[in-house]
Amino acid sequence: MDRATVLLRQACKDAKVHSSLAAATSACTEGAGKQWVTLALTKESLAEVHVAISQGTGQLAVLLVATTAPVSQIEVLRAMEYGGVYVASAELGAGAATALTEAASFTDGPSLVLLAEPAALKGDENWTAFRYDPRREDAGNAFTAEGDRVRKEIQGFLSRQNLLTLIAKKTLPSAAAADAESGELSAGLADASKTVTILYSSDTGHAEECAKAVARQCRNGGFASSAVRCATMDSFDVGALASEPLIVFAVATAGKGEFCGNGRSFFTKLSERSDLNLKDMKYCIFGLGDSHYWGKGTEDSKINFAKPARDLDTLLEERGAVRMLPTGFGDDQDVDQYHTGFGEWKSQLYSRLGVDQAAAGGGGDDGPVKTDEQIKVETKQLRGSMKESLDDITTGQIPFQDTKLIKSHGSYQQDDRDLREERQKMGVENAFSFMIRVRLPGGYCTAEQWLAMDDICEKFANGTLKITTRQTWQVHGVLKRDVKDTMRAMNKACMDTVAACGDVCRNVLCTSRPDVCSKALHEEILHYTYNIHDHCLPRSGAYHEIFLMQGDEMAEKTQIMGSTPVEEEPLYGLTYLPRKYKVAVAIPPSNDVDLFAHCAGFIAIIEGGKLQGFNVAVGGGLGFTHNNQKTHPRLADVIGFCKPSDAKYVCECILTVARDFGDRTGRKHARVKYTVEDYGAEWFKEQVEDRLGFKLEPAKPYKFEHRGDLHGWVKGTDGLWSCGLLVPIGRVKESSRTCLRKIAEELKGQGAFRMTCNQSVVLEGITEAKKAVVQKLLEEYKVMHNKETTVSGLRRNMVACVALPTCPLAFAEAERYLPTLVERLEAVTERCGISQEDIVIRMTGCPNSCGRPSMAEIGFIGKAPGTYNMYLGAD
């Protein structure tokens, strides 16, 4: 270092040499002359120098000194990419004087000189001394190298388009000064030098959102659209890394510090390619993880937090790649999860890329990633751009913001995760499709409606019906072009999907067992269930405009000032609810609806064969985030009693308290249960009573004795028969679907179907004459419907969510695996003599708990592929 400084002062007698880069930079003022600083060559000093040069500090002159082998010249050479920078490389000695003198005399921009100690170059036959002087570009000899042999990494750099572009920008006339053809060529060559590849590994979509946000910013900041590539890591050829100037990685964590499914293969292949030399490649990484996933403060959590991102960083460094900026991290434990870390990291990235002044959205883009609250406010009562995006046949997906909105209309955009890797390698988009869920309060439908749904799943979906734990159907695999036709077909059968999903009051449940009370009483309670459900429905006409209306009818509605008038939402306003609102009605002694797992619950109180009213419960919910202490399952509190006619108003008041006091800053803490938990059940009750205008009566005695479904035949007080069937995991397919269709055809005009909360079906309203016909069909198609045919108590009580391959939130299997597990456990229960004991076993692929596993005697919640938390003993 001292020798280099002495040499500098000898070559440039008036050199102003500073002790630090910061001091030299601050001294760079117009007319002050070159401001020198001497630095040891390290990765850190190089990064600092590049930042200073990229910021256009014109009078800066940096002397880098390499004292140890090996000496890479490529990062020094890259300074040429900024344009108007003098760059030189020489051996520390007498031959360095020319480079230092030229650097000192270059006044049109910064100067960067690399001097290497002779000892550091010993044995390096490829070392190339060179000088690049932008003042000689017009003469065509701006770059000169000493000797016949040019170092391979330098030759590779020179052969790339970035130098061609640099020269073109200096020698070709600008668009303003020359004709259009020359201007377009200059602009095209300039754009060609700006390329960035963004690769992500993501299961839940968070890393994908980060990657796409970076891609949007680059495109809107001046990068040509074709120069910005965004894809999964597994879809990228590892062998092509060496030819990439810059790669930005967004890497999520799966399981115990593992790569997600669409990044695992990339990392494995990169690990195996020890021959790769990535010295020409710059990279940066943003890693996502949960610092408490394996327990707060535990060694496992420390080791595995964002481990894939850290492992990738280490491996790329080993392969010689150059880190452009420090790795950033997003932690699910932060108040706004990964957004905190991503916001800080992306600011540095955008500044380095020169796109920090660009707007984040535009030009046919999804726009910036917005919060759910922003989306609800800005999309005209749940309209957004869905009508137009569903009509767009160029892609199988809809824009990001519309994926949020469509939930309120009963649908989710999904893709087949089993096919992701294959399709990405083929260069085609994911196999997108839509799940559509029907609104069916109380789970009741006619035989005609069953037939209509059977037709719909055959014509538009994947040929199956899924009975959910919320007492309704959903169909999977609906292509975007068929979404509207599917909704219209449902509408023709007097069904819709309004409020089946989203931040609204969802499908209201009601006990399905026909043997808990008289037929007349059951119908009365179902009537109040409908009242509660209908009273809390959103009033927006968006659903009908987007999915149902067409032609003259639509034109007439939208002709007022050229746009559809916006209705008032008396309960929801512009922002709707902070999160979903789930309601259930239970008829003791049956708690088949799992009433205490709901935001609001109504327990029917029957005395002397008459409905007296409902006990009211608030604050239940089972969803949580693994090891996030702010989230947890909670059972509802019973806060009082109301008359039957007041139930819908009580439900409304619970809803509006949640609307006004729920946490809108973080969706993971926004359910009604957290409002009750944070403020207390007594406070919540007072709020409800204040809005009601009267006090709730004290809760009345009740007793739940069971929560399973009816299996077999039972005769009602009206003389008609009901039969409970077992539909394993709620999937109506193959022979069971054929059987149920034939039964529906037999029951047209008289019978009905009622879905259960345990994913099965009860046939209702069967006359004595039809009973034998139905029984024959059940036997013919071997549909399980009694204690003998249902095999075991475990099988009768197994419940699972869909999970893989279509649910984007699933960490592990559920529907596809639980039947196999139950079959294995049946051998154990048979051996122990308890095979016919009703044992509730449930499994979900993630902690959102759609299958309510926390309330099972044996519950499994997916934590990673093939990994579950097991919970025992709930009742």
Catalytic residue positions, numbered: 437, 506, 580, 582, 801, 807, 846, 850
Question: Hey, is 41 helix, strand or coil?
Answer: coil
- Rounded Cα distance between 112 and 62, Å, is 5
For residue 386, what are the contacts with CB-CB under 8 A and spacing of at least 6? 398, 402, 405, 406, 409, 542, 546
Tokens coding 146: 């000493």
Q: Are 502 and 412 in contact (CB under 8 A)?
A: no
User: 579 Cβ partners below 8 Å, 6+ apart?
Assistant: 503, 662, 667, 670, 671, 672
CB crowding 378-402: b at 16 or more within 10 Å, else e: ebbbbbbbbbebbeeeeebbbbbbb
Contact (Cβ atoms closer than 8 angstroms) between residue 531 and residue 552:
no
Helix axes 647-661, 681-692, angle to 10 degrees: 120
Q: For residues 99 and 145, give the distance between their C-alpha atoms in angstroms, rounded to a whole number.
A: 12
Is the peptide bond preceding residue 805 cis, with omega within 30 degrees of 0? yes
Q: For 836, list phi and psi in degrees, rounded to 5.
A: -95, 0
- Burial (0-12, 13-18, 19+ Cβ within 10 Å), 562: exposed
The whole-angstrom separation of Cα 842 and Cα 856 is: 6
Exposure string of 676-692, with b = 16+ CB inside 10 Å and e = fewer, is bbeeebeebbebbbebb
Quote helix, strand, coil % in the chain, to nearest 5: 40, 20, 40
**What's the distance, CA 614 to chain centroid?**
39
How far from 394 is each of 230, 379, 391, CA to CA, in Å? 18, 23, 9
What is the bridge-based pairing of β-strands 731-732 and 465-467? antiparallel
| 796 CB-near residues (< 8 Å, 6+ apart) | 708, 709, 711, 726, 790, 838
Q: Give the separation between CA 816 and CA 804, rounded to whole angstroms.
A: 8
